[in-house]
Amino acid sequence: MAEQIIPIRSTTQEFIEIEDINHDIVMYRDGACSVVINVAAVNFGLLSEKEQESIIYSYAGLLNSLSFPIQLIVKSIYKDITSYLSLLEEQEKQQKNPKLAASIHSYRKFVESTVKEKDVLDKKFYLVIPFSALELGISTSLLLNNSKKKGLPYEKAYIFERALLALTPKRDHMIRLLTKIGLKSKQLTNEQLAALYFSNYNAGVPVPQSFGLEQKEHMK
């Protein structure tokens, strides 16, 4: 007798740990939460030796001064510069000054050769400040529930309230420390968080316009 085949009925959402995004905070299925801060990059290679050393020591001091955990994430995306090259070509054709046209042509060829030899990556830097579900305390409903079913220990509104109370001063402190060492930073909004996680789970798929801002607009 042939073995009965049970169809797969699971959805992608069952494998995603995110429960909700609200108040510019990500809530996970166990009640934990986090805020995500986008940090602007610094062209370290163009700095003088003293400036590099100053940033390194300042960054080390920042890490040593923290009294709460953080997570650092670097996201690398292959950069498509086709439109940029087309723009340069168009500018070259429209340029009436022969010397400027030659300069644009030389620059465009340089960019093309560089792209062929090396992959051009667009890097995004994120700093995550977590709020553990343990900070909520033990829920009576979970103690009385003998089943193994997982779920939020409290109502969403209460969890967001507690998370905001704990994460807001940490976020402000973190942004102040980053500003002191010359790094611009900004907390991601609900729309930007949705766009970030969508791009992580759907590599290569354009972010829907309904999410509002794209990643390149985070620091504006």
At 173-188, the pLDDT tens digits run: 999 999 988 889 999 9
Structure tokens, 85: 């090259």
Tell me the one-letter amino acid at 187: Q
Q: How far is Cα 141 from Cα 153, in angstroms, rounded to an integer?
A: 7
Tell me the one-letter amino acid at 63: L
Confidence label for 219 from pLDDT (cuts 50, 70 and 90): very low
pLDDT for 215 equals 42
Q: How far is Cα 31 from Cα 152, in angstroms, rounded to an integer?
A: 5
Tell which wins on pLDDT, 91 or 216. 91
Q: Give Cβ neighbours of residue 132 (< 8 Å, ≥ 6 apart).
A: 32
124 sits in which H/E element: strand 121-131
pLDDT for 99 equals 87
Per-residue pLDDT tens digits for 134-148? 888 876 555 555 545
pLDDT for 98 equals 87
Question: Average pLDDT of the chain?
Answer: 81
Q: How far is Cα 175 from Cα 39, in angstroms, rounded to an integer?
A: 9
Residue (of 6, 219, 27) closest to 125 by Cα position: 219
pLDDT for 151 equals 77
Q: How far is Cα 73 from Cα 26, in angstroms, rounded to an integer?
A: 15
Per-residue pLDDT tens digits for 17-73? 889 999 999 999 999 999 999 999 887 777 888 888 888 898 899 889 899 999 999
Maximum Cα–Cα distance across the chain: 83
pLDDT for 26 equals 95
Residue (of 210, 204, 170, 173) closest to 190 by Cα position: 210
Q: Show me where the domains of the chain are located.
A: 17-77+123-217, 80-119
pLDDT for 47 equals 80
Q: How far is Cα 15 from Cα 197, in angstroms, rounded to an integer?
A: 13
pLDDT for 139 equals 62
54 sits in which H/E element: helix 49-65
CATH architecture of 17-77+123-217: 2-Layer Sandwich (3.30)
Residue (of 190, 185, 192, 189) closest to 213 by Cα position: 192
pLDDT for 114 equals 74
Residue 164 burial class via C-beta count within 10 angstroms: exposed 0-12, middle 13-18, buried 19 and up: middle
Q: Does this model's pTM top 0.75? A: no
pLDDT for 217 equals 44
